[in-house]
Structures are given as structure tokens and as C-alpha cells.
Chains A and B, each alone.
Chain A
């Protein structure tokens, strides 16, 4: 009698879970990207989309839908109102969507805390800072560099450029930002012209476009930003294992570890802007089983042969963050103490005249 009961319960249990099993056969998944076709976020989503399709249960069609506007805030606002828990809409953010949120931008009507339970992937990226070989050949020249007035091309004090601006400031470098640059590409060209003397580029641009300059002897790398891992520690950038990361560099030239509100805020913004720059979310309140299906699918993708063969070229040598680690990095990136944020806003206002 007991045996029969147990097997009956087991059968019912299995039936129930199978009936509730996630299956997207014959459906189409829409992946919203808040930027136009061809940009970094778009390329990232389109790289993943076909592999995600193969990894999701039922192999649905995964289609990328661009919805640009407001620097990324328009689409994010719209997505934050979505309550369809059917798992057929996912959203890919980027650093440019996180920063306005952290800084209290007027346009932002979304709340990252809503997505703590529905994040399924975080993709890191990295950056390398470099300067002109005219006054810097190696770390030994650091004091000399501190004495030079350097120009840095930037697209604004409230963009991802906060990372280099704060990094240079904490090192005591005299850096004068020239705002209004239309992105890192033009900033790099300005460096080639000799109009700017310190610059940074993201990983792929550095590799293809700055490394030739380094070989020519025109440019010298300083440090990478490094990667904030899901336990909050900074490690070397895996794409550039020979270069020190900023905190390491700071310690070796200043003789002590970086600390204080400037550093805390910098680390959080680094996590948001680089170490977990692009995240994938499902709408808030989605059924945990569906979230898990996606989470598992992304894990499957990162373990697949296709991914392993192409990842380094397309995304860099970064570990993709999945599962509960993704929740961890979200907390590290997006939860910044109010006092530190106040410090930052004050800094940006006094130093660069930005009004909030």
C-alpha cells in the first residue's frame, strides 16, 4: 500500500513538473536592445541570439529588436513597465543605461532593484588607459607624468568617462577633459593627431587600433581598469594579463591601497560600466521557472563549442557571468550607498560644472 502511494505521489509530482516545464516551441522571443543596429550592444545581442535560440527549451526563434532613444533610457523605461511573464520578451542593457540611473537622471523611470531576481546574464568588458610616449616610457616616469598638463577627449562628465576621470584624479594626474567628443573613436583619432595626450579605449578597439601605435612607439599603455568579480574584488583584465590593473598601479606608485568615497564610488561604477556592462533581464515578476530556463540556457551557451571558439574574438577573454553570480554582480554594481553618490555628484559639479 505504501509503495503504491509513493509511486502515485511520484507520478503526480513528475506529471505536475512536466506539465509546468518551460517550453518555447514554435514561439518567437523578442530581445530588446535600446540602441541602434551596428553598435556595441547590438553586436553583443546578435552574437548571442542564435546560440540562445539553440539552447532554450523548444528552440524558439530569437529576434533582436532595436528600440533606440534617450541614450537608452526610452526603451528601458518601456521595458520596466512590462508585466508579461510569458518569457517571450527579454532585454539587454548596457553601461549607458546604468549610469543615468545611478546619477539620478531626469529621464530615468526604471528601477534596477526590480530586476534582482530576473537577471540571467552579465557580460563584462574592459578598458585600457594609455598615454603619449613623449613624456612617459614606463612606470618609472610616473612622477614626470604627474607634472605634465594632459588633455583627455571625453563625451561628457556623466558618461562612462567617469571611470577614467576619477581614476586619473585619484592618481594625482593633471588631466583637462575636452568634452563634446562623439565617442571613443574620435577621441582616439584626436590622440593620433596629438591633440590629446592621454586616452583610454575599450578592449577590442585597443587591440586593433592602439596596439599598432604602441608598436610604433607613439603610445605607452598605463593600466587596465581590471575586472570586478562577483565577490567585489578587482582582478587583472584577462585579455591583458601582463598589464597591471588600476588599483594595482595606484598601490605601486602611491605606496598605499586606494580607499575613501572616491574609490568606493569608482569601484561601483566600474562594476556597472565595465565588469558587468551588459546584462540580460526578464520582466519583473516573471515566473522563476522561466527565469531558470533562461539562466540554464545561457550557461549552456557559454559551455558550447561554438561559443568557446568565437568568444575571445567577439567578446574578449571575459568570463560571462550567469546564475546566482549574476545576482551578485548586480548588487555590487547597482547598489551604491547614498553618501557616496552624494560625494560623486558634488565632485562632478565642482570639478566639471555639471548641474543635477
Chain B
């Protein structure tokens, strides 16, 4: 093992390999900064070059790209509240809050240094356990994976904010939203309501943008100042971030170990690990009050975990040919194009190759995170730009990212509908992280429960691994539950008040209706297709009905008393901008719509002259056009494109 490791290091630092690695890192930073793009786009750009290149250099480039994308997308997560990929969602919670407090550079500094150390530490762990990785992976069967999913769901407890009931209901919503589309066991379409788009279900990128980016944008449009409302000196922030990371080194170590181990297990999915890391750090902290409002630990934990996870994901990819995440799927594609077949023989036969991969990834991580780290104080100045100028760019980026999902206008429709709902959730204090956890774990829980029962009957609950994980879950829930002291409910809200016509009540009834519709839909399917959404929706329906109509005290906790009619008006006004863009897009196509949108928004929210507005609009549009040209991407088409054949980019 030691000599494989040493020869691996010699190879990695050899001229050509290193150079291509740098190239990949550079490309990865560019690709990763724009949310929604991810490794697949970078891969498509590299594709024509890889084919025919010598495998070692090609792999170095590919690894450089993949390693850095989850790092560079932290920029938009922290500075704009736009989660670039599923891996950045947990970072948005505290990262963006810090940016709003004027500590954007600090948050970035902490995020990147945590990524750096997390990735390095993950590689160390990987080096040691890769020899025994195969038995570990084989040990974690469907029963154990199901119980890990339960561990993940238990995080809802600490992610619920003030109200455990709301957290529970939000999680239920997430589980049901996640079940939309094809049932894992039977392939039946659930909750699709014959709407073609929903046959494929909702993607995590869309819900991430809808849950975090859109509500924040509405909020910022309402206030119309700058993202950073406090004028803290941005300059030294990034060093402070580094110091925070060093101070919280135990969190970095724990979370990167967690990330590495979760990454090794094929089948859990990439987005779960951040939430588990985030939930874990909340559970194990004595002072929980600042989480969600700008606690630097809420940035350090998920960032250490998700870089370690990428390294971990190499293992099932190389060992079994099963990609542990989206970027690994891309990597696998690259491997086979280069003629390298992953398989058990790789670890026994070519350990050096495995170490080269692991440490190239780690090195790319270090270089990428390091580069981003030094850029962070400069780029953080974005948070000082008046929102009227920044908003159209942000909205354009969000729509562009959402559009990458299926490249149809429906992506934008779904984004808007979900975004509207999540904006209301934010304003009525419903915990969106709980929704996300339910969503990302929905498929895992259902698939593995079903398989575990098929393989072992309900005896699967007695398997040793399952019992151990269950005990860990119980322990973590117990440790995390020095629950928020019950707020004094001063509000008197009765069932009668529920029927007043205001936005908040409408929202509550929409949720209730959704549970009822889900329950109804699940009964239309076979047992194996309907049982999961059916049980969840029936439980939620019963619980929610009880809370709404039979328990005034709990009902009062559902209501946000500080929300006024003025807030309603402001909310509608802010949200209507987003709707405007979508409507314009569906008629004129994206480019023309964005052009008009930029001008309209900037004219309305700022005092800039028309010339300046046109210059900014021009620069924004030309950037996005250039990027799309190189990445062979199309723009959302509208009715106009249906009737007239226009040249690219107006297609």
C-alpha cells in the first residue's frame, strides 16, 4: 500500500498530469460559478478534447473539473442565496444570512477553507480504508441504507426551527413532492395529474432554487437596498473565516469523516450529506440560537462534508461502476470513453491508479478551494451592489439554472409555482430545510424500505447494522432535543379565524388540499406503488386536520402574527416581477424577454440613466450568450419561436 501511495504521488506531481489538472480546475471554477450547470456541462465542453487524448492527462483534467464544481458554486450560495447544486443548499441557510449581515467574505473564507481541509481529510480517510472499502459497501445493503435514510429524516427535529409540528408537516410535504413521478417499485405515475412534465418528477435543483433563491429574491426586491444591510468592513473578512475554520477544527474533522463515509455508500445520493452534516452540527451545539440566522458553523459543517463526499464517491464508481453522485456519473462516462473499465479488479490489481485518482481529486480540491479563497474578498463586494442592479442578473441566473433541468419552458413554470409556495412558507415561518430533507430522502426511503422487505421480510429490522444505526439515530435525536422552550402563545386563533379570507389561511388550505389530493391519488395505484405516498399523506392529513380544527393552541403556532396586509401587497408586487419574466419568456423566448425585463426592472428600482441601463443589460446578456455558445446550450423558447424560425440565440 505505501509504495502504491508513493508512486501515485510521484505521478500526480509530474508535469503533464499536473498541468491538465490545473486546466480542469480552471474550467471547473468557471462552470461551477454559474448555478445549475454542474459537472455534466463541463464534461460536454471537454468531451471533444478528451476523446483521443492520452488517458492519464484526460483523467487529470476531468478530475480537476469534477473536484472544483461543488466548491465554486458556493459563491452564489453564500453571496446571493442561490444554491448552485444540491450540494450547496445547506450552506445557503447560514452563508447567505451572514452575507446579509455584511459578513459575506467571512462566510466565503470559512466555506473555502472548510472545503479545503474537509477534502484533504476525506482523502486521508479514503487512502486508509480503500483496501477494505469493498466489504464495507457490500455490508450496507438495502436494510442498512433504509435505516440511514431514517437517520437523515430524524434531522428534521433540529431543522424545524420553532415549531416541531410545522417541521413534521413540511417534511411530509417534501416526502410527497419527492414521490411525484414514477414509483420505484411499479413505475406508475403518482401525482402527475396527466401533466407530461411531472412524469419525470421534480428535480432537486428546481426545488432548491424554489425553496431558497426565489423567496430571498422577493424579500430583497421588497426592501430594495443591497444584499449586505450592515456596513461591516469586508476587507479582512476572509481571514476571519479561515480563523473560524481553524477554531472549529473538530467540526471539520467530524463532518469530513461523515461526508467521506456517506459518499462511499452508493445509493444515498449527494444532497443528503449536507443536511446530515448540518443537522449533526446543530444537534451537537449547546448554543443553537444563531443557526439559520448566520452561525458560521452552519457554513463550515456542510462545506467540509460535501467535499469529502466527492472523494468518497470515487470508491463505488471505481469499484463497482456505480456512480455515487451526478459528477461521478460524468466521471464514469469519461472513464469508459478512455477505455478504463471500473470493477473490483481495479483495487486489487491497480491500487496505484486508485490512489492517483483519490489524491488528484484532493489536490484539485486544494488548488480550487485555495484559488476561490483568495478571490473571496474581492467577489464578496457583490453584496454591496444596489439590489436594483443585481436583481435582474440574479433572476436571469436562477431562470437559466432552472431551465437546464429539461430545457423546456415547463421548468420555469414549475419553478415559479414552487417558488411562490416556498415564498409563502418563508413568510409564514414554515421550515424549508425540513421540506428539503423530506424531498431528498423520499426516493431513498421508499426504494430501500421496499427492497429490504422483499429481501428479508420485516426481519430486516433485526439485522445488526440496522440496529446500530437505529441506536445512533435515537441517540442523536435525544442529544439534539434540548428543545426550544415553548414560546408563549399570546395569539388567540380559533377555527372561526381560519375562514377569514387572507393569504395565510389560503396557504394553510392549500397544504391541506395537497395532502388530501395525495391521499386520493395514492389509492389509485397498486399496493406497492401507492403505499408509501399513501401512508405519508394519510398521516399528514390526519395530523393537519387535528391541528387546524381541533386544537386551538397548536393552530395558533401555525400562524405568523407579524404578517400584515401590507406585507401581502408587497409580496405580490415583488413576486410579480418573476411572473413577468416567465410570461414574457413564454411569449417571446428567453433572450428577448430578458432584454425587456432588465430594462423594466432597472428603470423601476434604480435611478440610473437609460444609457447605463442599456450597457448593463448588454453586458449581462452577452455574458450569458457567450457561455451558452461554448456549452452548446439553448434558451427557453416561447410562442414566437414556435411560429417563426429565428437564428440562435433567439431560437
Which A residues are within 8 Å of any B CB, using their own CB? 36-39, 42-43, 46-47, 50, 63-71, 74, 107, 151, 156-159, 176, 178-182, 185-186, 188-190, 192-193, 195-196, 204-205, 207-209, 212, 313-314, 353-355
Contacts and interface: CB of A to CB of B under 8 A. Distances in A.
Interface stretch (B137-145, B155-163, B423-431): B137-145
Nearest to A205: B321
B328 to A, nearest CB: 9
A186 B454 contact: no
A46 B454 CA distance: 39
B577 to A, nearest CB: 29
Given A151-B455, A180-B451, A353-B526, A36 B40 contact: yes
Interface residues of B, number: 51
Contacts of B407: 67
Nearest to B50: A46
Given A70-B199, A208-B343, A178 B40 contact: no
Interface of B: 40, 43-44, 47, 51-52, 137-138, 141-142, 182, 184-188, 196, 199-200, 266-267, 320-323, 329-330, 332-334, 336-337, 339, 341-345, 406-408, 446-447, 450-451, 454-455, 526-528, 632
Contacts of A186: 266-267, 322
B137 A209 contact: no
B447 A313 contact: no
A208 B340 CA distance: 10
22 contacts: A36-B329, A37-B40, A37-B43, A37-B333, A38-B330, A39-B333, A42-B333, A43-B333, A69-B200, A69-B408, A74-B406, A151-B455, A156-B187, A182-B267, A186-B322, A188-B320, A190-B141, A195-B141, A195-B142, A204-B341, A209-B320, A353-B186
Contacts of A205: 321
A195 B322 CA distance: 17
B186 A46 contact: no
B271 to A, nearest CB: 16
Nearest to B346: A208
Given A189-B138, A209-B321, A355 B343 contact: no
Given A70-B199, A179-B185, A43 B138 contact: no
A39 to B, nearest CB: 7
B343 A107 contact: no
Contacts of A151: 454-455
Closest 3 CB pairs of A and B: A38-B333, A180-B184, A208-B341
Contacts of B527: 353
B339 to A, nearest CB: 6
A39 B336 CA distance: 10
Contacts of A188: 320
Nearest to A210: B343
Contacts of B447: 180, 182
Given A43-B337, A186-B266, A354 B200 contact: no
Nearest to B187: A156
A193 B186 contact: no
Contacts of A64: 47
B187 A63 contact: no
B528 A185 contact: no
SS class, residues of chain B in contact with chain A: helix
Contact of A185 (B321, B337, B446): B321
Contacts of A66: 44
B632 A65 contact: yes
Given A181-B451, A212-B343, A354-B186, 19 more contacts: A37-B40, A38-B330, A38-B332, A38-B333, A39-B329, A46-B51, A70-B199, A107-B196, A151-B455, A157-B187, A178-B455, A179-B185, A179-B528, A185-B322, A189-B266, A195-B455, A314-B339, A353-B526, A355-B188
Contact of A193 (B47, B141, B345, B454): B141
Contacts of B51: 46, 50
A226 to B, nearest CB: 24
Contact of B138 (A65, A69, A193): A193
Contact of A43 (B142, B320, B336, B528): B336
A326 B447 CA distance: 39
A97 B142 CA distance: 29
B436 to A, nearest CB: 21
A194 B526 CA distance: 28
Contact of B320 (A70, A71, A189, A196): A189
Contacts of A70: 196, 199-200
A144 to B, nearest CB: 22
A313 B526 contact: no
A115 to B, nearest CB: 22
**Most central of B447, B451, B632 by chain A CB within 10 Å:** B451
Contacts of B526: 353-355
Contacts of B185: 179-180
Contacts of B320: 185, 188-189, 209
Given A63-B632, A204-B341, A212-B345, A69 B454 contact: no
A143 B509 CA distance: 61
Nearest to A61: B48
**Most central of B185, B450, B528 by chain A CB within 10 Å:** B185
A188 B137 CA distance: 13
A156 to B, nearest CB: 4
A47 B186 CA distance: 34
Nearest to A352: B186
A107 B198 CA distance: 11
A182 B299 CA distance: 32
Contacts of A39: 329, 333
A195 B141 CA distance: 8
A212 B344 contact: yes
A178 B449 CA distance: 12
Contact of B344 (A71, A107, A196, A209): A209
Contacts of A42: 333
Nearest to B137: A189
A66 B333 CA distance: 13
A178 B451 contact: yes
A116 to B, nearest CB: 27
Contacts of A314: 339
Given A37-B333, A69-B200, A313-B339, A158 B187 contact: yes
A256 B426 CA distance: 69
B141 A156 contact: no
Nearest to B321: A185
A70 B47 CA distance: 24
Nearest to B323: A38
Contact of B343 (A43, A176, A209): A209
A185 B320 CA distance: 7
A277 B479 CA distance: 54
Given A37-B43, A195-B141, A189 B322 contact: yes
A26 to B, nearest CB: 17
A209 B336 CA distance: 14
A196 B44 CA distance: 36
